[in-house]
Amino acid sequence: MSLPRLDSFVSGSWQQGNGRSVTLVDPTTEASLAEATSEGVSMSSAYAYARDVGGPALRALGFRERGELLRGFSRALHAHRDELMALGVKNAGNTRSDAKFDVDGASATLASYADLGAELGDAKMLVDGEPMNIGRSSKLSGQHLWTTRLGVALHINAFNFPAWGLAEKAAVALLAGMPVISKPATSTALMAHRIMQIVVEEKLLPPGALSFIAGSTGDLVDQLREQDVLAFTGSGGTGAQLRGMKNVIACSVRVNVEADSLNAAILGGDVEAGSETFELFVKDVVRDITQKAGQKCTAIRRVFVPRARLEEVRALLLERLADTKVGDPSRDEVTMGPVATKRQQTDVLAGIERLKTAGARVLVGGGVPEAPIGVEAGKGYFVAPTLLECASLESVADVHDHEVFGPSTTLLPYDGDNDVTKMIELVRRGGGGLVASVYADDKAFLREVFLGIASSHGRVVLGNEKVAGGAVPPGTVMPGLVHGGPGRAGGGEELGGFRGLFLYMQRTALQGYGPFLASLASEGKRI
Ligand code: NAP
């Protein structure tokens, strides 16, 4: 029986590719689910339609109206929530809770940008700061204005968040007024494909505002030009390759890369076992090992613990991890499913092996679990929840260099005050990360660590007893806060409320007769 083919939606219609296809698989059963290929789909026509039809339609609207489109998009995803979550369970190995995180994150981000649209009102421009006097005459003024770029936003997403990845990037670009071509990772594209079907069936967006590629990018990246934007999420290697493409360099294409990250969680020496802060820390670490089988770009990979607390931390983490029920994610009792693909399983196991060989001790897991619940023997791409430990901060250099993108994290003990300086240096390794979380009630320690690591992180989460009850975990990306990080993390920045719009707009310094500049600026929204 032939498998269903995922079509691309470009130039205002569904188009079937006709070349060599990639098979999408259920990572629990290894059953084939669908095929995808973009070969034969005309990428130049896709760009032309997005640029000539989608762009003008979006730019004719103000922020408020674009926000209303996002509101409709958000509501539609919510209305189809169960159906979309089922696709996450089937095609990405998500538990229902994992899939909910993805789908609800998508709706919430769209809704948040819809709210921002309402706040920005009917304007189409953003006014940056106050006007300034730039000459000897008071008539001469300067003012910065942001206007929408006239090209297309190409969004290339990773496999781990098919709904949120599509929605968070699209929400920002569409609110800024740029048409989007979205390409999900092929292996888990079923959910993103269904989202595109919903957008088309329910006519949620103007023609040309959102196009969708099923399968590889083909020559999409080669066709990017000066007014276009590339926003990429995936491995650092692919990010670097795309950034280095000839046309991308020659045309100064604006590029945003969200890549790998060795996110750290740091426990302060003042935190007593059993305290609220301690409990928050343990909860966050366990969640990040098991949620989405550890396949979150923001997941904690390195856990820095004062040596005096190591035994208690180790014991509690092992106790909690022992409660993890690994198996078929469609079953209610299962709390962790497989990783998304065979390649992922191979990479994750190889990564753990690398850390072991380099000297990290396996406290639990470290391989394929024996009998995942409800799964046929020998099937599925499972990796056991894994906790490793190093003898000291620097005993295993690879822990600070190699990201294991799966259900694995490593404990790293630090000693006295001198070690805090060394610990900060290691947290910064790789030139940066997406997020680090610091758990302490000692304000001086929080301050020292924050100031030590801030310049190499896009986000720092400070956890203490004051916020323990309602804390947002470090793994959750908030639409109003920036997501991204320097160095290894790709050097990018997404979201952050209105800040995200800047990627898709051009800031122009305008100088001239003050009253005229003021009247022009009055058409925009001051930020
Ligand atoms: P990947 O191989 O780089 O793939 C990511 C995306 O790029 C996919 O859509 C893929 O398409 C596409 N792609 C691959 N090669 C390409 C090329 N030569 N030209 C154009 N597009 C290309 O990454 P991955 O291994 O799937 O993703 C896991 C990595 O992503 C992890 O390292 C993780 O840290 C990182 N990640 C980062 C974030 C973040 O927000 N910073 C979020 C999630 C994941 P196909 O699927 O069709 O090959």
| Each residue's pLDDT tens digit, 260-273 | 999 999 999 999 99
Angle, helix 443-453 to helix 417-427, in steps of 10 degrees? 40
Q: Which tens digit of pLDDT belongs to each residue from 180-227?
A: 999 999 999 999 999 999 999 999 999 999 999 999 999 999 999 999
Q: Rounded mean pLDDT of 410-417?
A: 91
Cβ of residue 256 lying under 6 Å from some atom of ligand 1: no
Hey, what amino acid is at 364? V
Q: What is the pLDDT of residue 471?
A: 84
pLDDT at site 478: 96
16-31 per-position pLDDT tens digit: 998 889 999 999 999 9
Instruction: Give the predicted TM-score (pTM) of the model.
Output: 0.96
- pLDDT for the residue numbered 468: 85
- Say what the pLDDT of residue 450 is: 97
Phi, psi of 421 (to 5 degrees): -60, -45
For 322-334, what is each residue's pLDDT tens digit? 999 999 999 999 9
Residue 40: CB partners within 8 Å, gap ≥ 6?
16, 17, 18, 19
Question: Residue ranges per domain, the chain?
Answer: 5-259+491-526, 263-479
Give the span between the Cα atoms of 289 and 188, in whole angstroms. 20
Mutate to test the pocket of ligand 1, among 101, 172, 188, 216 (most ligand atoms within 8 A of CB): 216
pLDDT at res. 2: 85
Residue 7's pLDDT is: 96
- CA-CA distance, 499 to 73, in Å (whole number)? 21
CATH superfamily of 5-259+491-526: Aldehyde Dehydrogenase; Chain A, domain 1 (3.40.605.10)
Q: CA distances (Å), 495 to each of 299, 332, 440, 484, in order?
A: 18, 33, 28, 9
Q: Which atom of ligand 1 is nearest to the CA of 434?
A: 41
Residue 416 is predicted with a pLDDT of: 77
Phi-psi category of residue 224: left, alpha or beta, with phi > 0 → left and psi -120 to 50 → alpha: beta
pLDDT digits (tens, 9 = 90+) for 240-292: 999 999 999 999 999 999 999 999 999 999 999 999 999 999 999 999 999 99
Task: Burial-class residue 362 by CB neighbours within 10 Å (0-12, 13-18, 19+).
Answer: middle
pLDDT for the residue numbered 469: 83
Triad 157, 161, 165: Cα angle to 5°: 50
Best of 238, 247, 402 for a ligand 1 pocket test (most atoms within 8 Å of beta carbon):
238
- For atom 8 of ligand 1, the residue with the nearest CA is 185
Whether residue 299 has its Cβ less than 6 Å from ligand 1 = no
Confidence of residue 1 (pLDDT cuts 50, 70, 90): low
Q: Domain 263-479 adopts which CATH fold?
A: Aldehyde Dehydrogenase; Chain A, domain 2 (3.40.309)
DSSP 177: T
Q: How many residues does the chain have?
A: 527
Q: What is the pLDDT of residues 350-387, one digit of tens each?
A: 999 999 999 999 999 999 999 999 999 999 999 999 99
3-state SS record for 461-494? EEECCCCHHHCCCCCCCCCCCEECCCHHHCCCCE
pLDDT for 304 beyond 80? yes
> End-to-end distance of the chain based on CA atoms, in angstroms?
57
CA 269 to chain centre: 31
Residue pair 67/37 in contact by the 8 Å Cβ criterion: no
Residue 306 has pLDDT above 70, yes or no: yes
Share of the chain above pLDDT 90, in %: 95
Query: How far is residue 288's CA from residue 31's CA, in Å, rounded to a whole number?
Result: 28
Nearest-5° Cα angle at 33, 27 to 39: 110
Contact 54, 149 (CB under 8 A): no
d(CA 122, CA 160): 35
Detail the DSSP E strand segments found in 220-261. 229-233, 254-258
Measure 185 CA to ligand 1 centroid, in angstroms.
7
Distance (angstroms) between ligand 1 centre and the Cα of 144 equals 35
pLDDT in tens, 89-104: 999 999 999 999 999 9
Alpha carbon distance 245, 257 (integer Å):
14
Range from 75-79, 174-178, 440-444, 466-470 carrying the lowest mean pLDDT:
466-470
C-beta atoms surrounding 357 within 10 Å: 10
Q: Which atom of ligand 1 is nearest to the CA of 258?
A: 41
Residue whose structure tokens are 């995200």:
500
Dihedrals phi, psi of 456, to nearest 5 degrees:
-110, 20
Phi-psi region of 29 (alpha: psi -120 to 50; beta: other; left: phi over 0): alpha
pLDDT of residue 33: 97
Sorting pLDDT into bands at 50, 70 and 90, what band is 470? confident
Per annotation, catalytic residue among 297, 390, 448, 493:
297
- On the question of pLDDT at 504 being above 90, the answer is yes
Nearest CA to ligand 1 atom 14: 238
| pLDDT score, position 477 | 96
Lowest mean pLDDT among 59-68, 428-437, 475-484: 428-437
Residue 185 Cβ contacting ligand 1 at under 6 Å:
yes
* Residue 418 confidence (pLDDT): 75
Beta bridge partners of 267: 439
What is the spatial distance between Cα 396 and Cα 274, in angstroms, rounded to a whole number?
Answer: 29
- Residue 149 alpha carbon to ligand 1 centre in Å: 25
Using only C-alpha atoms, the chain has a radius of gyration, in whole angstroms, of: 24
